[in-house]
Amino acid sequence: MTTTYGNVSNASALSADITAIDLASQAGGGTGTHYVITLKAGATLTEGSDVTAIDLAGSDTLTLNGEGAELNGADDYRGLFVYAGKVTIENLTIEDAVAKGGAGGGGALFVADDESDGAYGNSPQVTLDNIDFASDSAVGGTGGIRGAGSAGGGGGGLGGPGGNAFQSAGGGVAAAGVGRAAPLTAATAVATTAAQGLFRAARQAALDP
């Protein structure tokens, strides 16, 4: 069975469609429905908040066809986040998306690597076809509060703030910084090297007296 959402022309509508697909997939148990989202050809979808994460159950799949449209993060919001499921993204430009640790943001594209912790145990698989990335970046999260005689907490992870002096781990997926640092893989065009440099710099700053 195929379920189609067409002529999507703004970021809030895209987010709403993804939310509807997530809920339908989870309610149906992932029996093999193929969902299709088609954007309005040539449109610019400027985000005012993060686009909902794609979270499919079972063998359900999603194709996002950009039709030459642009998803623009406005230098403040993540692009696309695939938490679970088999997803194809095609004919789309993702521009000015920003990865923000601890603020729930992502970069141009995040693909979770957290199958054991996923609600449906459905490891994501993402295929890209004719995708352009432009001016996307990664920004480290703010470290936690420094306490007397201890280093400050780690910077935030995706969806959670940094820990405090007694909870030093960075935030994991949808969690505060309480030691649950679930692994995430930043996929193509997220400034991985820059993010690693920011992490090292933040770690050193936290260790310096």
- Residue pair 52/21 in contact by the 8 Å Cβ criterion: no
Share of the chain above pLDDT 70, in %: 58
* Number of folded domains that form the chain: 1
* CA-to-CA separations, 43 to 10, 12, 52, 67, in angstroms, rounded: 8, 13, 19, 9
Q: What pLDDT, in 10s, does the model give residues 31-47?
A: 999 999 999 999 999 99
The pLDDT tens digits for 97-116 are 987 764 433 468 888 865 54
Q: Encoding tokens for residue 71?
A: 């998803």
Q: Which domain holds residue 60?
A: 2-207
Position 149 pLDDT exceeds 80 = no
- Quote the pTM value: 0.67
The residues near 112 (Cβ < 8 Å, ≥ 6 apart) are 81, 82, 83, 84, 118, 124, 173, 184, 185
Query: Over the Cα atoms of the chain, what is R_g?
Result: 18
Q: Which helix (H) or strand (E) holds 12?
A: helix 11-28
Q: Which amino acid is at 147?
A: G
Amino acid (one-letter) located at 164: N
CB contact set of 113 (below 8 Å; sequence gap of 6+): 123, 183, 184, 185
